[in-house]
Structure 1
Amino acid sequence: MIRIGLTGWGDQDDLYPNRTKAKDKLQLYSQYFSTVEVDSSFYAVQPRDRMARWAAETPDSFSFIVKAYQGMTGHLRGKPYFNSTSEMYKAFRESLEPVIEAGKMQAALFQYPPWFECNRDNVNELREVKLRMEGIPCAIEFRHRSWYEDKFRERTLAFLKEQGWIHSVCDEPQAGPGSIPIVPIATDPHMTLVRMHGRNVSGWHQNGAPNWRETRYLYRYNEQELLEWRGYLQQLQAQSEDVFVIFNNNSAGDAAANAQMMMELLGQPIKPFPDRTEPEKEEGPEQLELF
């Protein structure tokens, strides 16, 4: 099965009538898509009660892909919030428990930074992470091209398969060592993750710029590009029972529309977006001009 979703639900304006309250958005989101990537967990380990509420607000068939906290993937800058690595992993695992208990936990996503190169120390770190996350499905996304260079590509994929990592196949700008090519190969027979980041080459390496979030994922896929990806998804479905596709190209709100385009190309039913046209204001009674 191929399941389509988005990164987060709070900023997906296409999905919600005007003036929809934040607390109501996830329930509405789940009427359009059957899975979502929780991105807020990257910035802070989410409280258990919040995760439990999210699980309760969604249909039984809904599933969550939860992004690993930034301190677990080497992104953290500044003072650590946790006193130790063990404490950090314990908190993250505990936060997932309500979603796991609800049967809606699809995978934890470990997205590694562009400076996480293919070397022995980092391979050993991945082994340790898998031990710490034992019992929880884990997907991995690389951002450094070295993992897929000719001399390492087959060994990388074999290692992921051996260690039980779910491969994240990415579409992203081809912008040097800090980006990876499309590698449509599954490493887990049950699940493959696909993340669609857009193809904005000029905005890809803008981390630290004042408006980088507004430009990095600024891209709308056209039909031809999505038709190309339909072929990749069919390849992956032949290798893996379920393929989860997450659209992350949302700097200008393109993700939801592209996700529905992909669903249509796959022959999946879609629900039309609500009409967000603001009603015209009625003019008051005409004032008589006395002077």
Structure 2
Amino acid sequence: MIYIGVTGWGDHDTLYADKTQQKDKLKEYAANFPTVEVDTTFYAVQPLRNVEKWVNDTPSGFRFVVKAYQGMTGHQRGDIPFQTSEEMFAAFIESIRPFQESEKLAMVLFQFPPWFDCTKQNVAYLRYCREKMDNLPCALEFRHQSWFKQRFLEKTIDFMEKEKWIHSICDEPQAGMGSVPIIIKATTKDMTLVRFHGRNKHGWNASGQKNWRDVRYLYRYTVQELTAWKEYIEELHKDSKDVYVLFNNNSGGDAADNAKHFVDILGIEYENLAPKQLDLF
């Protein structure tokens, strides 16, 4: 199956009626898309009550792509609120247990920062992460171009296949070493992940500027750009049972519209979505 959705469910105003309450937005979201990326897990290991609510707010066929906690991927600024790495991984795994028990966990996404380059030390850390996550499905996304330089490209793909990392393929600006090229290659037979970050080359490297996050993902894909991806998705679907496609270009509110356009381009009609919320007054 091809699952199409966006990152997060709180900021996509075009999906909701004006009176949709924040607590009900996931229910309304699940009437539009069959999957979502959970970003709050990146900023903090979530209490079980939050995850249980998200599970209960979605239909049985809904799937969550859960972003790994920032301390697990080296993004953490300041002190990590855990005594050891083992404690951190154990807490995270326990926090996502309701996703697993409900069979709504698609995968855990390990997105590494731009300074995580292709070195022996970092390869060893990836093996460590995979060991700690045991048999949970995990996706791997790089932000440093060295992993896909010609001398390492084949080795990187082979490594992901052997370690059972799901490939997170990116559509993003080609803006130096802090960005990666589009590599259309599935590394597991079960799943492949595709994430659309936009193509705002100027904003991509604006991390030193005020409100840089608002600039980084400010981009609206054209119909032509999305149509060009149709063949790629169909190719990936031949090699992976499920392909997850997530739009992260939401600085200007474009992600949900682009995702809906892409559903139409691929000719998908989803069944078993949540019922639409009725706003009578």
Alignment correspondent of 1:287: none
Q: Displacement, 1:269?
A: 3.0
The whole-number CA distance in structure 2 between the counterparts of 1:5 and 1:95 is 23
The whole-number CA distance in structure 2 between the counterparts of 1:22 and 1:45 is 21
Letter in 1 for 2:22: A
Letter in 2 for 1:153: L
Alignment correspondent of 2:221: 221
The whole-number CA distance in structure 2 between the counterparts of 1:175 and 1:242 is 30
Alignment correspondent of 1:32: 32
User: How many residues are aligned here?
Assistant: 273
Does residue 170 in structure 1 map to residue 153 in structure 2?
A: no
1:243-258 to structure 2, matched below 5 A, reads 243-258=243-258
Q: Give me the CA root mean square deviation.
A: 1.3
Q: Displacement, 1:19?
A: 2.9
Deviations 1:169-189 (A, max 9, x none): 100000000000000100000
What SS does the aligned partner of 2:150 have? coil
Alignment correspondent of 2:16: 16
The whole-number CA distance in structure 1 between the counterparts of 2:7 and 2:126 is 24
Higher alpha-carbon deviation: 205-214 or 151-160:
205-214
What SS does the aligned partner of 2:96 have? helix
Does residue 52 in structure 1 map to residue 52 in structure 2?
A: yes
Q: Which runs of 5+ in 1 are unaligned?
A: 280-291
Q: Which structure: greater helix fraction? A: 2
1:270-285 to structure 2, matched below 5 A, reads none
Deviations 1:75-130 (A, max 9, x none): 01111111111111011000110110011001000000001001100000000000
The whole-number CA distance in structure 1 between the counterparts of 2:34 and 2:206 is 32
The whole-number CA distance in structure 1 between the counterparts of 2:260 and 2:104 is 22
What SS does the aligned partner of 2:24 have? helix
The whole-number CA distance in structure 2 between the counterparts of 1:214 and 1:143 is 19
The whole-number CA distance in structure 1 between the counterparts of 2:51 and 2:118 is 34
Does residue 99 in structure 1 map to residue 99 in structure 2?
A: yes
Letter in 2 for 1:242: D
Q: Displacement, 1:70?
A: 0.4
1:67-86 to structure 2, matched below 5 A, reads 67-86=67-86
Deviations 1:227-256 (A, max 9, x none): 111111011111111100000000000000
Letter in 2 for 1:146: S
The whole-number CA distance in structure 2 between the counterparts of 1:76 and 1:208 is 17
The whole-number CA distance in structure 1 between the counterparts of 2:133 and 2:47 is 18
The whole-number CA distance in structure 2 between the counterparts of 1:54 and 1:206 is 33
Q: Which structure has the bigger radius of gyration?
A: 1
Does residue 112 in structure 1 map to residue 94 in structure 2?
A: no
1:115-264 to structure 2, matched below 5 A, reads 115-264=115-264
Letter in 2 for 1:234: E
Taking structure 2 as the reference length, the TM-score comes to 0.95
Letter in 2 for 1:261: H
Q: Which runs of 5+ in 2 are unaligned?
A: none
The whole-number CA distance in structure 1 between the counterparts of 2:93 and 2:138 is 12
Q: Displacement, 1:208?
A: 4.1
The whole-number CA distance in structure 2 between the counterparts of 1:244 and 1:208 is 31
State percent identity of aligned pairs.
53
Alignment correspondent of 1:288: none
What SS does the aligned partner of 1:151 have? helix
Letter in 2 for 1:227: T
The whole-number CA distance in structure 2 between the counterparts of 1:33 and 1:6 is 8
